[in-house]
Structure 1
Amino acid sequence: MNVSKNVVKMLVAAGALAAATGAMAQSKGQFAMSVGVNQLVPKVESGAISAPALPNSLGDVGKDTQPVLLVNYGLTDNISVETALGTPYKHKLYGAGAIQGTGQLGTVKALPAIALVQYRFFTPDTPFRPYIGLGVTRAMFMKETGSFAMTALTNPGAGVPTTFSIDNKWTYTGQLGVQMNVDQHWYANVAFLKTRLRTDVHFSTGQYQHMKLDPNAYILTVGYKF
């Protein structure tokens, strides 16, 4: 998915429509819902798997794109609250450092539950309205599944498959976005979110690994104001 090209296309198209219609933006007491896609891209800085693994046995995490539903409510003309609902993101796990090139080590599903408070600039009658947000996130991990390659690296010769778990964490998220109104009810939305996320991986072999994930989220949605 080429996020940057899609963002530019949506900004141009929705901005032109908004300028033509002079639509109203979200205001106090108004609910809004939008649906679209979210690409979650971990920005990984990995710790090493503890002994007896090879020194500098690091990890990496792949990106995933899933549908997303955003629900927003205007507390005032400029302050709103928002939450995101969606399906879990499935991430592939790979080796890095001394174990780079060993193939896929496993998979994990992640479900970030998020609640944001936003400040929307300008007045509700502005068709092109940027906003910033800050909120709390609960990062939940599930269905952790290791591969043969993971077992070979962490428990060679034992014949017992290695399993693992990842700690759930509370953390915080920052947001930048813009809402572009098409008419009185319909709008397009583009948002970037950055989450601070540090967690630990625990292996059934007794080994562990610290991971700095700090994911970026790129959201494109189309919405309706009630």
Structure 2
Amino acid sequence: MLSIALPIASVAQTEGSIFVTTGWFHFAPQDSSSPLKITSVGGSPVDITVPNTGAGVSSSDTIGFTVGYFVTDHIAGEFEFGVPPKFDVSGTGSLASFGTLGSVKQWSPTLLFKYFFLASQARFRPYVGIGVTRTSFSDGKITNAAFEARGLGGPTSVEASTVWAPVFNIGFTYAFSDHWFAGFSVSYIPMSTTGTFTTQSQTPVGTLTRRTEAKVSLDPIVTYLRVGYRF
């Protein structure tokens, strides 16, 4: 009965339709962190946990893009990507006094499959989706000199592991005309990454390479407000 009451668009979202969108992504990590763990000193493996330490990740915004195709009147595949957002990383626990520790950029192209409800001619169409993302990180750096010197013990480089994760998605589109439409979606991505800090630590016996790790659960909620064109 709901589909009867809704206005009708003159061009349907039917099998074979291709569409593109652009809009605004907002990433809101629901983050938590394990304590820092020193894993090697001077090439020798160690296992030293630094209690009451950790890291948190800020929210971020960026421009996003989508290319999609309706496989049937109700099932569409979409490829989402965007300009890599930049996140600030802050200390938690005993590291909270340092404030912002550094920053990192995230690359997370995503493939989604969505099921659209209601008739293909309906202007308003809610959907649910599921997909997968491959998330990698670049340009990681320590920006807090005090943390680098006192917290880590010397000049430090940073990297984070690449991860694959599922994506759970809900949203809707609304057609304004034959070709133009807008949409809004919310995604949840359960994921974590391991950050590795490689420090050239100054010691009484000289400079030793020290590696420290922390596992950070990100679990972001991602919203996407967009406008699109259907061919």
Q: Which residue of 1 aligns with 2:171?
A: 177
1:96 aligns with 2:95: no
CA distance in 2, matches of 1:219, 1:109: 18
Q: Which residue of 1 aligns with 2:34?
A: 47
Aligned partner letter, 1:123: A
Aligned partner letter, 2:110: I
Aligned partner letter, 2:176: V
1:135 aligns with 2:131: yes
For the residue of structure 2 that corresponds to 1:50, the secondary structure is strand
Structure 2 length-normalised TM: 0.84
Shift of 1:98: 1.9
Deviations 1:131-188 (A, max 9, x none): 01101100010111112143134433xxx31111100011110100100011111101
For the residue of structure 1 that corresponds to 2:36, the secondary structure is coil
Q: Which residue of 2 aligns with 1:27?
A: 14
Task: Confirm or deny: 8 A CA contact 2:172 2:184 kept in the other structure.
Answer: yes
CA distance in 2, matches of 1:25, 1:154: 59
CA distance in 1, matches of 2:216, 2:22: 31
**Equivalent residue in structure 1 for 2:220, among 205, 215, 218:** 215
Structure 1 length-normalised TM: 0.86
Task: Confirm or deny: 8 A CA contact 2:23 2:224 kept in the other structure.
Answer: yes
Counterparts of 1:110-189 in structure 2 under 5 Å? Answer: 110-147=106-143, 148-156=145-153, 160-189=154-183
CA distance in 2, matches of 1:123, 1:162: 56
Q: Which residue of 1 aligns with 2:190?
A: 196
Q: Which residue of 2 aligns with 1:4?
A: none
Q: Which residue of 2 aligns with 1:8?
A: none
Aligned partner letter, 1:48: P
The runs of at least 4 aligned residues of structure 1 exceeding 6 Å deviation read none
Q: Specify every segment of 5 or more residues in structure 1 that has no aligned partner in the other structure, as ranges.
A: 1-18
Task: Confirm or deny: 8 A CA contact 2:66 2:80 kept in the other structure.
Answer: yes
Q: Which residue of 1 aligns with 2:71?
A: 75
**How many residues matched?**
205
**Could you say what the CA RMSD is over the residues aligned between the two structures, in angstroms?**
1.6
Q: Higher Cα Rg: structure 1 or 2?
A: 2
CA distance in 2, matches of 1:47, 1:32: 42
CA distance in 2, matches of 1:155, 1:171: 30
Q: Percent identical across equivalent pairs? A: 28
Deviations 1:202-223 (A, max 9, x none): 1103111011101111100011
CA distance in 2, matches of 1:22, 1:170: 38
Shift of 1:101: 2.9
Higher percent of residues as helix: 1
Task: Confirm or deny: 8 A CA contact 1:104 1:149 kept in the other structure.
Answer: no
CA distance in 1, matches of 2:173, 2:155: 49
Shift of 1:21: 6.3
Deviations 1:53-111 (A, max 9, x none): 75211110011111111111000000000011211110000001221131211110001
> Relative to structure 1, is the Cα distance of residues 196 and 153 closer, same or farther in structure 2, using a 3 angstrom cutoff?
farther
